[in-house]
Amino acid sequence: MSSDTLTVIDNRTGASYELPIVQGTVKAMDLRRIKTGDEDFGLMSFDPGLTNTASSRSSITYIDGEKGILRYRGYPIEQLAAKSTYLETAYLVIFGELPTADHLARWQHDISRHSLLHTNIQHLIETFRFNAHPMSVFISAIASLSTLYPDARQVTDPVNRRLQVERMIAKAATIAAFTYRHNQGWPFIYPDDGLSFIGNFLKMMFRMTEVEYVPNPVLERALNILWILHADHEQNCGTNAMRVIGSSQADPYSALAGAAAALYGPLHGAANEAVLRMLEQIGRPENVPAFLAKVKNGEGERLMGFGHRIYKNYDPRCRIIKQTAEEVFQVTGRNPLLDVALELERIALQDDYFISRKLYPNVDFYSGLIYRAMNLPASMFTVMFAVPRTCGWVAHWMEMVGDPEQKISRPRQIYTGSEMRGYVPMEQRG
Ligand code: CMC
């Protein structure tokens, strides 16, 4: 008998089955062989939230959650954060290799060429109320791109796919900046080819009346680091949404809007916004013990920015962001809420409730403090997450569309409803 197998004995029938084990997994479809008789549908696995189900093979991002390791295409996140730029990392994540100088120059040129927005999208953004949540505006504007680029439906054409990828990476940043400026009531600032991708983004966001806008190099570097760290995180909720929608061969803008919508929830990308509101609510370090007591008693909300489905150790991104926050504060001035965050972390990491559940600070715990230092409202934080995560979403979409093993995503269910019953006329209903 091969050792790379799993022997299963079905105690209902006494039958024994041998299931192959490949790369630490058994195929869910192999379970279907396990039946009580010819009429039986066969065994399924039940996994709400897909906590123990691999839905694809992927060569993009490696995470070891127990050890706190994160790598893109094999490169440790610490090295990329220290040495790369967001756009170079995006190339790596999407195409699999670091670019040569020529490839990087062409990539930068192609992205910058697509960074303008069609005036229809500008007008669309202007139609939203000034106080509409920026993520709602962002999601709507991303979805609307499919009205302008119907060629994006040719998802099986690799040349066409690359064109859409360039558009998505470039336009997500411009849409984010225009969303912010509309929210503030400021006129739009168009993209500037003379700046780096991040420098241009800062200009589109923050330029007021300066004749020449010069991005602050510390803030530009900090944003590069934050966006490198947010570029991908394998099969998270948003990426899963991108893959699920893309699996029907819908155009990638529709899939991207769906991925961004998944990110919008407070258990996912909107946790950074929730963290800041939580820190403001706690107010001062001396209020931390009382707040944590409520979290542990289940009287209040969760400790936002803590815990992760995959990391059962310190999130490696959080360590880098914490250091980056200190550097940003040297330029912008120290935000007193940092002391509240540090006190929360200090006490929680010594508390048995958090230790026993392996709850550590995650990527969202300190990132909001940097965005706040840049004067951004909390409602913009998730948009600032969505722009760089666009890189991961399109990388997974490209991988999925080119993977012959992938099928339209369509899970099973365990039906728990009524047996068949007859239609009841209105006058006989109780
Ligand atoms: N505060 C207090 N208790 C928590 C927390 C928290 N932040 N996170 C998990 N727990 C407890 C939870 O109550 C449960 O306890 P018990 O076993 O007694 O019922 C246990 O830890 C396991 O929690 P879970 O909900 O089963 O874990 P999960 O893997 O389904 O959830 C999570 C992961 C990230 C949704 C969760 O940790 C959470 O809600 N964290 C706060 C929100 C947050 O920071 N989200 C950002 C995640 S990282 C970036 C991203 O994904 O976008």
* Per-residue pLDDT in tens (0 to 9) along the chain, 430 residues: 568 999 999 999 999 999 999 999 999 999 999 999 999 999 999 999 999 999 999 999 999 999 999 999 999 999 999 999 999 999 999 999 999 999 999 999 999 999 999 999 999 999 999 999 999 999 999 999 999 999 999 999 999 999 999 999 999 999 999 999 999 999 999 999 999 999 999 999 999 999 999 999 999 999 999 999 999 999 999 999 999 999 999 999 999 999 999 999 989 888 888 899 999 999 999 999 999 999 999 887 899 999 998 999 989 999 999 999 989 999 999 889 989 999 999 999 999 999 999 999 998 899 988 999 999 999 999 999 999 999 999 999 999 999 999 999 999 999 999 999 999 999 999 8
**Residues sharing a CB contact under 8 Å with residue 43, sequence separation 6 or more, in sequence order:** 31, 32, 34, 35
| Residue 234 alpha carbon to ligand 1 centre in Å | 18
The residue whose CB lies within 8 Å of the most ligand 1 atoms, and thus the one to mutate among 233, 277, 295, 302, is 302
| Positive or negative torsion for Cα 379, 380, 381, 385 | positive
DSSP 8-state symbol, 312: S
Q: Are residues 396 and 312 in the same domain?
A: no
In a domain, residue 47? The reply is: no
**CA of residue 324 to ligand 1 center, whole Å:** 25
Domain identity same for 369 and 387: no
Q: What is d(CA 188, CA 313) in angstroms, rounded to the nearest whole number?
A: 42
Structural domain span for residue 397:
75-265+380-401
Q: Is residue 39 part of a domain?
A: no
Examine residue 285 and state whether it is found in any structural domain, yes or no.
yes
Q: Is 53 part of any domain?
A: no
What stretch of H or E contains 62?
strand 61-64
Catalytic: 351?
A: no
The reply to whether 428 falls in a domain is: no
Contact predicate 160/151, CB 8 Å: yes
Q: Which are the contacts of 169, defined by CB distance < 8 A and separation ≥ 6?
A: 90, 111, 114, 390, 391, 394
- CB-neighbour burial class of residue 119 (10 A; exposed 0-12, middle 13-18, buried 19+): exposed
Same domain flag for 185 and 90:
yes
285 and 353 assigned to the same domain: yes
- The answer as to whether 55 is a domain residue is no
Angle between helix 158-184 and 252-263 (nearest 10) = 50
Q: Is residue 67 part of a domain?
A: no
Of 135, 131, 387, residue with least CA distance to 261: 135
Q: 163 and 289 share a domain?
A: no
* Number of domains the chain is built from: 2
Q: What is the dihedral of CA 228, 231, 236, 237, to 10 degrees?
A: 120
Cα 226 to ligand 1 centre (Å):
22
**258 lies in the same domain as 279:** no
335 and 353 part of one domain: yes
List residues bridging with 76 in a β-sheet.
Answer: 71
CATH number of the CATH domain containing 338: 1.10.230.10
